[in-house]
Amino acid sequence: MSKLKLAKIKDNLIKERNLILKKLGGNDLSVDPNETPDPVDLAVRNYSKNVMLAVSEHESKNLTMIADAIERIEDDEYGLCKNCEDEINPKRLNAVPWAPYCINCQELQEKGLLDEN
Ligand SMILES: [Zn+2]
């Protein structure tokens, strides 16, 4: 992969990372302790809080993967599967720039059959 393309990917990854960080930091759904909301209101808030937590979990996983991808660009290992070291399909990288595995290894990983280090 060309240096120019890698620089562009890195740029996008950093942008994506900042976007997630902003999203995570900008949502404070905590209830004001001086306030006594009615139960329905409270239930709705707790619900959205749980949804937010689930989102945060997803986002923080993405953050880890993005950081990892940036590191691999710096180490000149970007675009190679972390497991079998085959080239990851460029189409796949276009869709998921932080994909750490080729499609085969990704499948193994999702089934829990991959030894992750
Ligand atoms: Zn692989």
d(CA 65, CA 50): 23
**Dist. CA 16 → ligand 1 center (Å):** 24
Contacts with 86 (C-beta within 8 Å, 6 or more apart), sequence order: 80, 102
**Dist. CA 41 → ligand 1 center (Å):** 48
Q: Which long-range contacts (CB under 8 A, 24 or more apart) does 25-31 make?
A: 27/52
Q: What percent of the chain clears pLDDT 70, i.e. is strictly above it?
A: 89
**Dist. CA 18 → ligand 1 center (Å):** 28
- Look up residue 31 and give its amino acid: V
Calculate mean pLDDT across residues 99-117.
Answer: 90
Check whether 11 has a pLDDT greater than 80.
yes
Task: Quote the mean pLDDT of the chain.
Answer: 87
Report the pLDDT value the prediction gives residue 44, as an integer from 0 to 100.
Answer: 79
**Dist. CA 106 → ligand 1 center (Å):** 7
Instruction: Report yes or no: 88 and 101 within 8 Å, Cβ to Cβ.
Output: yes
**Dist. CA 38 → ligand 1 center (Å):** 53
**Dist. CA 81 → ligand 1 center (Å):** 5
Instruction: Report yes or no: 59 and 24 within 8 Å, Cβ to Cβ.
Output: yes
d(CA 29, CA 26): 10
pLDDT digits (tens, 9 = 90+) for 30-81: 556 666 778 888 777 777 777 777 778 888 889 999 999 999 999 999 999 9
Calculate mean pLDDT across residues 83-94.
Answer: 95
Nearest to 63 by CA among 19, 27, 30, 32: 19
